[in-house]
Structure 1
Amino acid sequence: MTVLDYVYTATFAMLALGVLCALVRLVRGPSVLDRIVCLNTVSVLLVSVVAVEVAARGDTAYVGLMVSLALLGFVATLTAARFAERRAHDRD
């Protein structure tokens, strides 16, 4: 095993820990906006996992998946934030 393989393994472990922490915050989040931010964080971390996998394999076949996940996460965050804003505005 080369040094780069150790780096990929450590990176995967740190990203998995980040996803786990974000999911805990998603479940325990005190407000809807905290949960929206956590969902955005999870989507960014998933794109990062795919990017590390692309780098580890040296295969660019998953670049389309990365772009799709990033776009889906962005649109989902905007939609959820807009929904939360309208919901807060309707309560006032």
Structure 2
Amino acid sequence: MSLAMTRALMGPTVYDRVLAVNTFGTKTVLLISALGFLTERPEFLDLAIVYALINFIGTIAVLKFFEYRDLGWTRPPEAGSE
């Protein structure tokens, strides 16, 4: 996890940083799941699923923001398509 955080802070491009933060989130989900399994607390799996969904939605939102510079803007229709 420390390597992913280092890459997130020092990544040469924005996309490297987004990938590193996504990797960090995925490893956190795995850590929460393993901790829940080892301590026999199944409610930790619910927390891990919620965290995974937040991680996924956040990654999509950040990538959309960097592509369009606005989260509400959509791509215009292609020329010739009706």
Using structure 2 for the length normalisation, give the TM-score: 0.79
Alpha carbons 1:22, 1:38 under 8 Å: kept: yes
Structure showing greater radius of gyration is 2
Structure 2 unaligned runs (5+)?
A: 70-82
Alpha carbons 1:33, 1:84 under 8 Å: kept: no
- Report sequence identity in percent: 26
Which of 38, 54, 63 in structure 2 is aligned with 1:56?
38
CA deviation string 1:37-90 (max 9, x = no partner): 111101100000001101111220212211110000000000011111124xxx
Q: Higher relative CO (CA 8 A, sep ≥ 6), structure 1 or 2?
A: 1
Corresponding position of 2:55: 73
Q: CA RMSD, aligned part only?
A: 0.9
Corresponding position of 2:9: 27
Residue 63 of structure 2 aligns with an amino acid whose one-letter code is A
User: Relative to total residues, which structure has the larger helix share, 1 or 2?
Assistant: 1
Runs of 4+ in 1 over 6 A off after TM superposition: none
Structure 1 unaligned runs (5+)?
A: 1-18, 88-92
Corresponding position of 2:21: 39
CA deviation string 1:1-59 (max 9, x = no partner): xxxxxxxxxxxxxxxxxx10000001110111111111110110000000110111122
Equivalent residues, number: 69
